[in-house]
Amino acid sequence: MKIHHEKTRSMVRKAYGTVAKKSVSCCPGSSCCGPAPAAAEGELGLSCGSPVAFSRIKKGMTVLDLGSGAGKDVFIAAPLAGAKGRVIGVDMTGEMLKLAAKNLVKFTARTGLKNVEFRKGLIEKLPVKSGEADLVISNCVVNLSPDKPEVFREAFRALKPGGVIVVSDIVLNRELPPALKKHAGLYAACVAGALQRPDYLGAIKDAGFKGLKLLTDNTYRSEGGCSDPITNKAAKALDGAASSITVYARKPGGRK
């Protein structure tokens, strides 16, 4: 199992490392990825939604972004958290972290804020203390993980009692054809590795989260015209098979 997991991670690192070197988004602003605000720095919005828009970030909060990439959501969250808050981005891909570091220099010069930190690590084994975060966000990353239930268990651990998780991701509405399940490029595009909807939502509940709410739910349609050549090739097979969703859930405890 561990060998399979590392093979998957290696494939994802390679795919996103290549994207980072090219410094372009796979689906910039396309309907299949869902709406997303413009990146604050270098445009690398590999996403399927906008978790920050639903997170109600307050001054002084500690925000943890799983699979932060070049830092798009981190840099959107940082001004909202303010100088007394913190935003921590975690990513496993070296090339993405290098790009994030360059973007951080620009961000700090522009805003004067020094509340952003990027850490290298796996989202299944987060490099954070238990109860360190008030909010966990993630944007089309969890379904890239070979062990999605463990990601949600780790997010639960990282949150303070009463903390919140807001995740945008891709879920499947039906089984994909076998050929697409093994399609490496489609996996990197957040589709082939996606869970069935009940399994994804079930993993969040099983991790201990309560009050689960579905904030957005957009079904993928081939006529949406995604600019990503990877998903274009499989457009007909994907039509109606996947949805981009944004999910809210809360760790019990703390003030309500």
Tell whether 171 is covered by a domain: yes
Rounded Cα distance between 185 and 92, Å, is 18
Q: Is 148 helix (H, G, I), strand (E, B) or coil?
A: helix
Q: For residue 70, give the CATH number of its domain.
A: 3.40.50.150
Tell whether 128 is covered by a domain: yes
Tell whether 256 is covered by a domain: no
Q: Is 57 helix (H, G, I), strand (E, B) or coil?
A: coil
pLDDT value of position 27 = 35
pLDDT value of position 61 = 98
How many structural domains compose the chain?
1
Q: Is 182 exposed, middle or buried (0-12, 13-18, 19+ CB in 10 A)?
A: exposed
Look at strands 210-219 and 242-250 and give their pairing: antiparallel
Residues with Cβ within 8 Å of residue 6, at least 6 apart in sequence: none
Tell whether 255 is covered by a domain: no
Range of the domain at 233: 2-250
Full-model pTM:
0.80
pLDDT in tens, the chain (256 residues): 454 566 555 555 555 445 545 554 333 233 233 333 333 334 444 456 789 999 999 999 999 999 998 999 999 999 999 999 999 999 998 888 999 999 999 999 999 999 999 999 999 999 999 999 999 999 988 988 889 999 999 999 999 999 999 999 989 898 877 766 665 555 445 566 788 999 999 999 999 999 999 999 998 776 654 444 444 555 666 678 888 899 999 999 986 5
Extract the tokens encoding 224: 């949406």
Tell whether 50 is covered by a domain: yes
Beta bridge partners of 159: 133
Extract the tokens encoding 239: 């039509």
Rounded Cα distance between 76 and 164, Å, is 18
